[in-house]
């Protein structure tokens, strides 16, 4: 069949319009990133015929572009946690993730994720993922050494430390530098290749094929310029990423991301998977939510500083996770954010690129250069320092290890979005799914034959304020596997 210009992901092809099936499989998977790879491996290991369709010429997806940290723990601890002396509990992990997710957390997913987290770690190891039994003790976004374990969320910070016993759960691969993503995808790709999984690269998924009753029977893909009708007897799994590369969808749902923040993702993150799911009734959840961050550490010494808004007020405990700080910063009235530091603690930030917009031997001098009210700034700094000297932060409960009085001279970094500081972002909204990956309508009805995982689904990470590094790849690989098993176990429709 020649390529038709009219076919769109937002309208399914009715099976009555399918003259013939060009390909057949049990489980068809859209997207060969972390979620798709894990779905394919598990579906294949469960005995299903599997075909992976990837729009790019190679596997990888956004997982390959990430550090591939995974956020895992509970159950007495992963092998690495135990080796480092952490007997992590499932309940602490659950309570932490529920508190971090706030009122939009998906309790069923969080529960399953925590309960089966150590098993998932063991599975990744069995696939060949190397994790060293060591801890990286610095405050950092990722381990740039080959060390494994790291605090990557706000577990040790108020208010979360009062909710659950803190434990580091970020697991980094045994590789130097920010090379975890390529390594993990190399390992998973080799596992896919070992199995009788059919992989079609340069294959663009165009739309789903559905019955008039709404069951998903397959999908249309374009390979070598030709449309192919693919019959998937057990199910289609959408693992096609988020929509951070689709400017129209960003303008509609996350206008703040259209200009300014650096998008985190691969060119295929155009929302096609979300549109395909929506076209058969799948509910899109929390489309306005996004991860956004101001990677202001390392150096961790900047944590001794204080963030203030345009009113020269503090607004957050500065020791918490960087995207939580970014999220609160962007919510401040007027949107202005400055990081005030003592010159003693200043060291050039590795990633942030925020311009220094003021320095001063006195607070008044600093305030004038920055354009803040000097009386308010003086009070904010003095109040902070006076209490910090006693190891206290009565307003925001910053941990004692990061409290010390601020001494002159001072410097102010402008962290306002759009003023030079690097922000980075990706989307968190996606299809509503059960923990099995089964896609749901707004009325919580099942769409037979359709599954989603990774950022095509609305998963464990749902807000920047509650994010921790490792949640996206953790969620994508974990729920990718679940979707693979669920679809493989679905009785085939004839």
Binding site for its own copies (CB under 8 A): 8-11, 14, 16, 103-104, 159, 212, 214, 248-249, 252-253, 255-256, 271, 274-275, 278-279, 281, 283-289, 311-316, 328, 331, 333-334, 373, 375-376, 379, 383, 394-396, 432, 441-445
Q: In the bound complex, what is the minimum distance in angstroms from residue 157's beta carbon to its own copies? A: 12
Q: How far apart are CA 119 and CA 473, in angstroms?
A: 15
Between 90 and 327, name the residue whose CB sits nearer to its own copies.
Answer: 327
**Assigned token pair, 426:** 């990706």
Between 64 and 312, name the residue whose CB sits nearer to its own copies.
Answer: 312
Q: In the bound complex, what is the minimum distance in angstroms from residue 443's beta carbon to its own copies? A: 5
Q: In the bound complex, what is the minimum distance in angstroms from residue 50's beta carbon to its own copies? A: 29
Q: How far apart are CA 373 and CA 144, in angstroms?
A: 40
CA 156 distance to own-chain centroid: 20
Between 68 and 287, name the residue whose CB sits nearer to its own copies.
Answer: 287
Q: How far apart are CA 154 and CA 396, in angstroms?
A: 13
CA 18 distance to own-chain centroid: 37
Please, which residues bridge with residue 87 across strands? none
CB 97, CB 218: distance < 8 Å? no
Q: In the bound complex, what is the minimum distance in angstroms from residue 442's beta carbon to its own copies? A: 6
Name the helix (H) or strand (E) containing 481.
helix 471-488
Q: In the bound complex, what is the minimum distance in angstroms from residue 287's beta carbon to its own copies? A: 7
List the 424-427 sheet strands across, edge first. 262-263, 424-427, 290-293
Between 41 and 316, name the residue whose CB sits nearer to its own copies.
Answer: 316
CB 279, CB 441: distance < 8 Å? no
Q: How far apart are CA 441 and CA 431, in angstroms?
A: 9
Which residues are CB-neighbours of 162 under 8 A, at least 6 positions away? none
Between 360 and 429, name the residue whose CB sits nearer to its own copies.
Answer: 429
Q: How far apart are CA 329 and CA 351, in angstroms?
A: 17
- Which of these, 328, 494, 250, 295, lies nearest to 413 by C-alpha position? 295
Q: In the bound complex, what is the minimum distance in angstroms from residue 255's beta carbon to its own copies? A: 4
Q: In the bound complex, what is the minimum distance in angstroms from residue 406's beta carbon to its own copies? A: 17
- Which of these, 393, 402, 385, 396, lies nearest to 324 by C-alpha position? 396
């Amino acid at each position: 069949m020649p390529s038709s210009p009219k076919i769109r992901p937002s309208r399914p092809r009715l099976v009555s319009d399918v003259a013939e099936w060009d390909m057949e499989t049990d489980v068809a998977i859209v997207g060969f990133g972390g979620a798709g790879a894990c779905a394919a491996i598990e579906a294949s290991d469960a005995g299903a015929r599997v075909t992976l369709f990837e729009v790019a010429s190679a596997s990888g997806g956004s997982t390959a572009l990430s550090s591939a940290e995974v956020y895992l723990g509970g159950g007495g601890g992963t092998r690495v946690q135990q080796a480092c002396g952490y007997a992590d509990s499932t309940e602490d992990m659950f309570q932490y993730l529920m508190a971090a997710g706030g009122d939009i957390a998906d309790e069923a997913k969080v529960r399953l994720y925590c309960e089966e987290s150590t098993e998932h770690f063991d599975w990744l190891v069995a696939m060949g993922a190397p994790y060293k039994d060591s801890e990286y003790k610095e405050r950092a976004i990722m381990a740039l050494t080959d060390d494994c374990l790291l605090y990557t969320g706000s577990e040790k910070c108020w208010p979360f430390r009062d909710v659950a016993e803190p434990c580091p759960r970020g697991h980094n691969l045994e590789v130097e530098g920010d090379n975890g993503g390529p390594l993990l995808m190399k390992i998973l790709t080799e596992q896919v290749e070992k199995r009788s999984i059919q992989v079609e690269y340069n294959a663009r998924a165009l739309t789903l094929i559905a019955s008039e009753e709404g069951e998903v029977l397959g999908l249309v893909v374009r390979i070598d310029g030709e449309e192919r009708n693919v019959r998937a007897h057990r199910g289609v799994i959408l693992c096609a990423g988020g929509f951070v590369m689709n400017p129209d969808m960003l303008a509609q749902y996350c206008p703040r991301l259209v200009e300014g923040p650096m998008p985190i993702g691969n060119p295929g993150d155009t929302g096609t998977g979300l549109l395909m799911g929506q076209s058969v009734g799948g509910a899109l959840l929390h489309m306005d939510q996004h991860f956004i961050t101001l990677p202001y550490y390392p150096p961790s010494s900047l944590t001794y500083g204080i963030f203030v808004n345009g009113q020269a007020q503090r607004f957050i405990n500065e020791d918490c996770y960087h995207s939580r700080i970014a999220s609160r910063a962007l919510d401040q009235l007027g949107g202005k954010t400055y990081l005030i530091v003592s010159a003693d603690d200043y060291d050039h930030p590795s990633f942030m690129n925020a311009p220094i917009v003021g320095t001063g031997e006195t607070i008044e001098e600093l305030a004038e250069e920055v354009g803040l009210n000097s009386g308010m700034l003086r009070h904010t700094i003095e109040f902070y320092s006076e209490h910090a000297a006693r190891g206290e932060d009565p307003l925001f409960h910053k941990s004692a290890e990061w409290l010390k009085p601020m001494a002159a001279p001072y410097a102010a970094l402008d962290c306002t979005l759009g003023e030079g500081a690097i922000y980075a972002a990706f989307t968190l909204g996606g299809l509503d799914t059960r923990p099995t990956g089964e896609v749901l309508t707004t009325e919580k009805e099942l769409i037979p034959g359709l599954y989603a995982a990774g950022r095509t689904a609305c998963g464990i990470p749902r807000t920047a304020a509650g994010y921790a590094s490792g949640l996206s790849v953790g969620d994508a690989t974990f729920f990718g596997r679940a979707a693979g098993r669920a679809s493989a176990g679905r009785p085939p429709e004839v």
